[in-house]
Structure 1
Amino acid sequence: MTTLFPTPGPGPEPVPLRPGRKLGPVAATVGSAHRAWLDPTRERYLTSGRTLGDLSRSVPLAKSKLSELLRGVGHYPRWEVIHRLAEELGIPGWPLHRLWKQAAVDAGKSRDWIDRSTEKVVTVAPSGPPLEHGALRSMAAEGYLSYAGVFLPDPAARDAAVEDTFAILWLSFGDALASPDTRRYAWEILRATVHAKADHRDHRPLLAEAAFDTVALREQTSAEGEMAQLTESLELFAAISRLPDAQLDVLVLRRLCGLGTEKVSDLLGIPLAAVRSNERHAERFLEDTIELPEAGGTAP
């Protein structure tokens, strides 16, 4: 299969050792929305060769406070500080601002606090992402929305998850290009973003809401048929949610989104043989667990 993106060249030159204490890990209390922008920002700092003392001369924070910010410790940071840090580290402002704002909402910050935090900053212009980013988005956006919709039935939550995915991908696109397959790198971001927003049971994302929007259910003409199909669908989706991630992704895309194997291969960034293998293993598990319905409407 032809790869959509160029093979990465030689890796970057080693970053010189910086003086001073090593930056500590991200705090365990930092949530997924906060980490969505914090992890790429930390990575950019760690690969920049800059020191906290150097940055503190341009960013209005002491070294100790910058260290806390980059570990997710203390109060949630104001945008004017993050904006200055982004300028110093060469981080694109628009995707960073989107993810910062989402995390601020999740952290319980009011709209007034968010507005006051940005009032001293020049409006963030949505400068264009790398061309390869746009190409991947054109290829994958529709499939991403279909997948996200299975876990997030609220259209606003579904759309936000996909937009967040592309924002995170933009921030870390250098790492994406250096990975074995950019599509696979992007899919891992999508899965993590969607699953973080989904309801869970026993640490697994729930698909049960999707039972109310299946083609088979809509085609039923009697109340008895609807109830039987609903019960069957709920049982099926509960079983699918227990699959390993790779098999879960393939089954959701194939059975619930109705995508063909080649499209699934493109979205996941894995060979066709891997798609078919994951599908076979998943179906065996489901057959051992429940009575599996026919997949009559699934594309080849």
Structure 2
Amino acid sequence: MSVAAVPPPPDGGQPGRPGRKLGPIAETAGPTHRAWLEPLRARFLASGLTIGELSERSGWAKSKISELLRGMGLYPRWEITFGLLQVLQVPTWPMRRLWMAAALEAHKKPDWIDGCIQKVALTTDPAVPPLEHQAFTELHRAPYTAYARVFLEDHEADEAVVETFDLLWLRWHEALASSDVVAFAWPVLRERVMDRAYHSEDGHPELTHAAFNTIALSHLTDDDARFAQIAESLALFRAISRLPAPQLDVIVLTHLLGLDHTAVADVLGAPIAAIHSTDRYARKTLNTALHPQNDPGDIPV
């Protein structure tokens, strides 16, 4: 199916368009489905096209396109997804991986996924991301993976990191246009991790896995000492999980993963003075929660 591409939108405000506004993404859309749908919707909204114009250029019915862009109904087949990518000039290769992961999330069978993929001919789109993106990936893969493994099992952490870099590839022009690529990227990684992390009833991410890893590495041989360590570690990690997001991230990167403040600033894309301040307030909060009688700096992290 041939499609007419739309040129990339100019930088600046979002163009207006006649007709009904695009509705929100359906609540039934899974996290990975939503992850690729959001940048696709953003590209559509920035393009200035209407649903009707997108239908004319892609060859797909307006109703099908509207359902796809809202995550309504059945999980979309690759053929129609690919058609919209071509019109909106969205990179095909990272989107295809994200589409496949979301299809599995939607309980589609591998045969169904393979059948969809085989119906669309390979494109001439670059199969590798831009060089700047590749360099960014090499620089940040290790700290991103270490952070993800604090909250997730290894295979889930690895999947979250792969999805992060694919999403950044999709949004690379947007990242480059931001004030700081590193600061732009961190929330993308954090969202992919937190979408997978187990959360307690009050909405905080659980750190039990990290707590028991800490205990396992403590080399304590006395049973009473190990039980005391378990109780102390669980209380500490529970308190850490309830920190505001910036403080939680700094504590994890600094005190659980052993990065110094300069390295943490490089990972988060934040000024080092902000890292110093955030760490200080986080340790004060933890001390108040765990040991009200202690000095604010005496945090057993």
> Is TM-score (shorter-chain normalized) higher than 0.5?
yes
Question: What are the superposed Cα offsets for residues 43-64 of structure 1, whole Å, 9 maximum, x if unpaired?
Answer: 1111123332222234342112
Question: What are the superposed Cα offsets for residues 99-143 of structure 1, whole Å, 9 maximum, x if unpaired?
Answer: 111111111212222122212122477622122222221221111
Paired residues of 1:216 and 1:229 also in contact (CA < 8 A): no
Question: What are the superposed Cα offsets for residues 25-57 of structure 1, whole Å, 9 maximum, x if unpaired?
Answer: 222332321111001101111112333222223
Q: For residue 228 of structure 1, report the CA deviation from its aligned partner.
A: 2.0
Paired residues of 2:253 and 2:264 also in contact (CA < 8 A): yes
Q: Residue 285 in 1 paired to residue 285 in 2?
A: yes
* Distance (whole Å) between structure 2 residues aligned to residue 263 and residue 40 of structure 1: 29
Q: Which residue number corresponds to residue 161 of structure 2?
A: 162
Q: For residue 221 of structure 1, report the CA deviation from its aligned partner.
A: 3.0
* Distance (whole Å) between structure 2 residues aligned to residue 185 and residue 97 of structure 1: 23
Paired residues of 1:195 and 1:205 also in contact (CA < 8 A): yes
Paired residues of 1:206 and 1:238 also in contact (CA < 8 A): yes
Q: Which residue number corresponds to residue 205 of structure 1?
A: 205
Counting only pairs closer than 5 Å after superposition, residues 249-260 of structure 1 correspond to structure 2 as 249-260=249-260
Counting only pairs closer than 5 Å after superposition, residues 130-209 of structure 1 correspond to structure 2 as 130-152=130-152, 154-201=153-200, 202-209=202-209
Paired residues of 1:217 and 1:230 also in contact (CA < 8 A): no
Counting only pairs closer than 5 Å after superposition, residues 1-300 of structure 1 correspond to structure 2 as 12=11, 16-123=15-122, 127-152=127-152, 154-201=153-200, 202-214=202-214, 217-291=217-291, 294-295=300-301
Q: Describe the SS at the equivalent of 1:67.
A: helix
Aligned residues: 284
* Distance (whole Å) between structure 2 residues aligned to residue 168 and residue 61 of structure 1: 25
Q: Using the aligned pairs only, state the percent identity.
A: 48
Higher mean C-alpha displacement, 80-89 vs 262-271: 80-89
Q: Which amino acid aligns with 2:169?
A: W
Question: What are the superposed Cα offsets for residues 204-236 of structure 1, whole Å, 9 maximum, x if unpaired?
Answer: 111111112127743323333322222211111
* Distance (whole Å) between structure 2 residues aligned to residue 66 and residue 131 of structure 1: 33
Change (3 A) 1:126 1:197: farther
Change (3 A) 1:225 1:123: farther
Q: Describe the SS at the equivalent of 1:27.
A: coil
Structure 2 spans left out of the alignment, 5+ residues: 1-9, 292-297
Q: For residue 256 of structure 1, report the CA deviation from its aligned partner.
A: 0.9
Higher mean C-alpha displacement, 98-107 vs 258-267: 98-107
Q: For residue 20 of structure 1, report the CA deviation from its aligned partner.
A: 3.1
Q: Which residue number corresponds to residue 3 of structure 1?
A: none
* Distance (whole Å) between structure 2 residues aligned to residue 223 and residue 60 of structure 1: 69
Higher mean C-alpha displacement, 228-237 vs 185-194: 228-237
Q: Which amino acid aligns with 1:148?
A: A
TM-score under structure 2 length normalisation: 0.88
Q: For residue 14 of structure 1, report the CA deviation from its aligned partner.
A: 5.3
Question: What are the superposed Cα offsets for residues 226-271 of structure 1, whole Å, 9 maximum, x if unpaired?
Answer: 2222221111110000000000000000111111111100000101
Paired residues of 2:283 and 2:299 also in contact (CA < 8 A): no
Paired residues of 2:215 and 2:229 also in contact (CA < 8 A): no
Paired residues of 1:38 and 1:72 also in contact (CA < 8 A): yes
The CA RMSD over aligned residues, in Å, is 2.0
Structure 1 spans left out of the alignment, 5+ residues: 1-10, 296-300
Higher mean C-alpha displacement, 254-263 vs 134-143: 134-143
* Distance (whole Å) between structure 2 residues aligned to residue 136 and residue 235 of structure 1: 36
Paired residues of 2:215 and 2:230 also in contact (CA < 8 A): no
* Distance (whole Å) between structure 1 residues aligned to residue 79 and residue 227 of structure 2: 54
